[in-house]
Structure 1
Amino acid sequence: MTDGSAQHPPAPAPRPGPRPAPSPSALAGRRPAAPRTPAAAAPQADRTAAVAAAVEHGRVGGDTTVYVRTADGERAVGQYPDASEAQALEYYAHKYLDLVDAAALLEERLAAGASGDSIRASARNQQAALAEAAVVGDLAALAARLEGIQESAARTAAAQAKERESARAEGLARRTAVVEEAESIAGTDPARVQWKSSGARMAALFDEWKSIQANSPRLPRAQDQELWGRFSKARNTFDRHRREFFSDLDKRNAEGKRIKAKLVEEAEALSHSTDWRGTAQQYRALMDRWKAAPRAGRKDDDALWARFRGAQDVFFAAREKENEAIDAAYGENLVVKEELLARARALLPITDPAAAKRELRTIQEAWEDAGKVPRADVSRMEGGLREVERALAAAEDAEWKRTDPETRNRTSGMLAQLEAAIAGLEDDLARAEASGDEKRIAEARTALEARRAWYDQVSRTAEQLG
């Protein structure tokens, strides 16, 4: 070597015979340094002891050939002419330690979670390369270490495969759940769908699908395509239903707007009418038609409703003002009818229906002459008078029943019949008792008691009529 910046001469290619080498002057006073470690390896500590241990597994022949001792005997690894034996052995020992570092790096990667299959393949390749490696060191120990790495990597690969299968099954279940929920949403009757919340949920399901795809193991191509096809179909169906729904909604809103605009025009045309009863009925009919009409969209519906109610308010406010004036004029009539109602209620309770009827007829005539009362008092006043009229009718009915000759005759005839029946039953009872037949005695006594009770009831009625 002539490059003074190099720390050790370049490695000669291993071969059994002599080959050109760097000049002794280039090697004078220099000691081969350890080769640089792989970029991923950690910084190395002092390797003096490791180099010394590796050197024990090699020797230098008289022709400067360097040998390594193996289980099968010595094997030439190369030549290092114009250098001391120690320098030559240390050079190849450093190369051995580079292989040891590579094995250690595999162990570190395996512990850090690297692919077991990848680590196992690398360890197998490194182990196979030992047979021709131009190094000096304990090749048997390194081979055993690489064999151990392969075994550990195989166990790790099996565990990783199991984890991947579990993760794949979980990913399949999560994808299937997403697809089934999307299909459920897409299959809902469009008339019952809450489009805002359902649309947000479909978007969330799509984001969830992408997250699962990114963070879960890939499924077999056919399975993945089948699930994606179902999911895509559900999303397309939902979007189509949404477009159709809102298209139909726009049509209904337009029809509703047209109908309600016409109702507003009719309501506004009636707002200044003074036909209070007839117009109020027309407004009720308009309201029924409004409720039956389709919606016109929130903004249009609110605006049209404001106009509709405004027209009604104008009419009913005018009617209320008119009624207030009428009620004020009817105030004096109310005073008169209050007095008449007091006279009518003084007839209660009615003991003489004929006299009460004459007095009530006079009151009713004065009542009609008094005229109307304010609307708020109509029900109270009319109800009070009706109460007295009903009491009089009840008293007249009771009096008629009490004095009706036909009723008297029916009662007398019934009493005579009952007396005859009772006499016959008394004879039956006497005969039954004479026979000693308990069953006949009981039946005769029961029948006799029933007729006697009936006779007592009819007798009381006859006394009331007489």
Structure 2
Amino acid sequence: MSEPTAQRADSAVEPADAPSPTVSDPTPPTGSAAAAPAPAAAPDVASTPGVPPPAESSPAAATPSTPSPGGPKPGPRPGPRPGPRPGAPRPGAANPAAATAAPAVEHPVRVRPASDPRQFGRVDDDGTVWLTAGDEPRQIGSWQAGTPADGLAHYGRRFDDLATEVEILEERLAAGTGDPRKTKTAAVALRDSLPTAAVIGDVPTLERRLTAIIDGADSIAEQRTKERDAARTAAIARKETLAAEAEQIGAETTQWKHAGDRLREILDEWKTIKGVDRKTDDVLWKRYAKARDAFNRRRGAHFADLDRERAGAKARKEELIEQAQALSDSTDWGPTAGRFRDLLTEWKAAGRAPRDTDDALWERFKAAQDVFFAARNAANSERDEEFGANAAAKRALLEEAKSMADPAKDLDAARTQFRSLRDRWDAIGKVPREQMQSLEKGIRAIEKRIADAENTHWQRTDPEVKARADQFASRVAQLEEQAEKAAARGKDREAADLRAQAQQWREWSQAAQSAVSDL
């Protein structure tokens, strides 16, 4: 379809030298899009008479859109623009106060050079517009609003707008921002519009760039799908692990504090895991929630039992306190101290009472103990003073015993003196426990000396010992007499045996007589 003819009298296209916004320096595209050749640079128009400089892209390039296949709309011819009204601020004029408060920051931008439409198309003298890039020339419209050079510049700007849209798609795809499927849809729409686009420029290269964008979008979309699937699999596996751990805690553990903290940590981590589909996530969440409820029930039952046990322990300890208080005034020190030890053993076996009362119960029990043991300690202090004096008296008796008669020489006198000393020893009474052994050892040594002397005297005067010695001597005489009779009968051998026996008995007799003499 040809471009509608513009009426010079009514309107004109935008002048070729009209200013157009610049595009910031984009990130170089990657992949196949980066390999597409850039549009040819415009030649130095100053050296070509009669050809106006090519205009840059119009403001419409900032918003990607499919160019209209129609020609330029008629507009007023360029002329002087009216100035601002007196007193009114100029559009875009800086506010001094605002400039002072927030100075403008300049950002470096890269100005993309406009393509040279003369390399890719022409405008005939009759206004017919041709796109010569590609396999064969294609008529794209009719230009009647100015010179052919103005027409070339106009259609070149339209191509630059289209190229800007392609560049934005390339940057978006290279940066990984946005949905690659939407980028592909926009690229397909632009590529489909190229056969009828009323633009002059390197359309084949632009088509190749769009094809690269479409192919790259498919690859990136596939890669993202794989990444999402892998992330979903990992997220499901992690939640499976957390759910299994929660189930183990809910079914087995009795470390209530640690397990409760761990379940909260699992919940915190659970909230950070994303990417699981709702159905799977609901199943896993129900497992975790069920395990947590099971743990809470077991923990509640445990502490309920513990409360009952502690209530029983409290009642038992109250009974023990009453018994301890009843014993606190006793002066039967030994048995009562033993009973207090038994009460303490029963106290430990009773277990812990509730935390808010256990310490108070112990203080009451301990107070009853302290009353008894304080009284016993006071009595022991008095007793220790008395026992100390007794020990001194007994040591004096031991010193006195050193001047007693020697029992080996005068046994009767030694016996009489020891009986007197022993009576006074027993009358003195008890001594401190730590001195008892040494004092008893001293008195036993004296007693042993007298006992040894008595034993020696008895052995010396024992009639059985003397009778046994006399019996040995009589036997010797009898054997010698028999030996003489045997010799008289001529029995020399028998006589020799009898003399040997007599000699043996004589030795025994001498030993017995010697023992009696030594006593």
Report the TM-score, using the length of structure 2 for normalisation.
0.59
Q: Which residue of 2 aligns with 1:105?
A: 168
* Number of residue pairs matched by the alignment: 376
Q: Which residue of 2 aligns with 1:371?
A: 429
Secondary structure of 1:129's match?
helix
User: Deviation per CA, 1:149-188, whole angstroms, max 9, x where unpaired?
Assistant: 2333344344444444443343344333323332333233
Query: What displacement does 1:314 show?
Result: 1.5
Trace 1:2-401 onto structure 2 (pairs within 5 A).
16-17=1-2, 19=4, 21=6, 24-27=9-12, 30-31=15-16, 33=20, 34-36=57-59, 37-38=61-62, 45-46=110-111, 49-52=113-116, 54-60=117-123, 64=127, 66-69=129-132, 71=134, 73-114=136-177, 115-190=179-254, 193=255, 195-213=256-274, 218-338=275-395, 367-378=425-436
Paired residues of 2:7 and 2:144 also in contact (CA < 8 A)? yes
- Relative to structure 1, is the Cα distance of residues 95 and 18 closer, same or farther in structure 2, using a 3 angstrom cutoff? closer
Query: How far apart are the structure 2 equivalents of 1:391 and 1:134?
Result: 147
User: Deviation per CA, 1:46-95, whole angstroms, max 9, x where unpaired?
Assistant: 55x5232x453233467645443453544444455433333333333222
User: Deviation per CA, 1:85-133, whole angstroms, max 9, x where unpaired?
Assistant: 3333333322222222222222222222235555444433432332333
User: Deviation per CA, 1:325-355, whole angstroms, max 9, x where unpaired?
Assistant: 1221222221234456789999xxxx9xx99
Query: How far apart are the structure 1 equivalents of 2:218 and 2:444?
Result: 106
Paired residues of 1:330 and 1:372 also in contact (CA < 8 A)? yes
Query: How far apart are the structure 2 equivalents of 1:64 and 1:185?
Result: 85
Secondary structure of 2:273's match?
helix
- Relative to structure 1, is the Cα distance of residues 241 and 335 closer, same or farther in structure 2, using a 3 angstrom cutoff? same
Secondary structure of 1:27's match?
coil
Query: How far apart are the structure 2 equivalents of 1:86 and 1:18?
Result: 16
Query: How far apart are the structure 1 equivalents of 2:324 and 2:169?
Result: 90
Unaligned 5+ runs, structure 1: 1-15, 397-402, 406-465
Secondary structure of 1:136's match?
coil
Paired residues of 1:327 and 1:375 also in contact (CA < 8 A)? no
Unaligned 5+ runs, structure 2: 21-56, 65-106, 455-461, 466-514
- Relative to structure 1, is the Cα distance of residues 71 and 211 closer, same or farther in structure 2, using a 3 angstrom cutoff? same
- Relative to structure 1, is the Cα distance of residues 389 and 44 closer, same or farther in structure 2, using a 3 angstrom cutoff? same
Query: What displacement does 1:261 show?
Result: 2.9
Query: What displacement does 1:283 show?
Result: 1.6
Alpha-carbon RMSD across the aligned residues, in angstroms, is 4.5
- Give the number of the structure whose alpha-carbon radius of gyration is greater: 2
Report the TM-score, using the length of structure 1 for normalisation.
0.65
Q: Which residue of 1 aligns with 2:481?
A: none
Paired residues of 1:24 and 1:82 also in contact (CA < 8 A)? no
- Relative to structure 1, is the Cα distance of residues 332 and 155 closer, same or farther in structure 2, using a 3 angstrom cutoff? same
Query: How far apart are the structure 1 equivalents of 2:162 and 2:244?
Result: 54
Query: What displacement does 1:207 show?
Result: 0.8
Percent sequence identity over matched residues? 37
Paired residues of 1:51 and 1:90 also in contact (CA < 8 A)? no
Paired residues of 2:391 and 2:431 also in contact (CA < 8 A)? yes
Query: What displacement does 1:196 show?
Result: 2.8
**Higher percent of residues as helix:** 1
**Range with greater deviation from structure 2 (303-312 or 275-284):** 275-284
- Relative to structure 1, is the Cα distance of residues 45 and 371 closer, same or farther in structure 2, using a 3 angstrom cutoff? closer
Secondary structure of 2:131's match?
strand
- Relative to structure 1, is the Cα distance of residues 17 and 122 closer, same or farther in structure 2, using a 3 angstrom cutoff? closer
- Relative to structure 1, is the Cα distance of residues 122 and 318 closer, same or farther in structure 2, using a 3 angstrom cutoff? same
Query: How far apart are the structure 2 equivalents of 1:360 and 1:119?
Result: 127
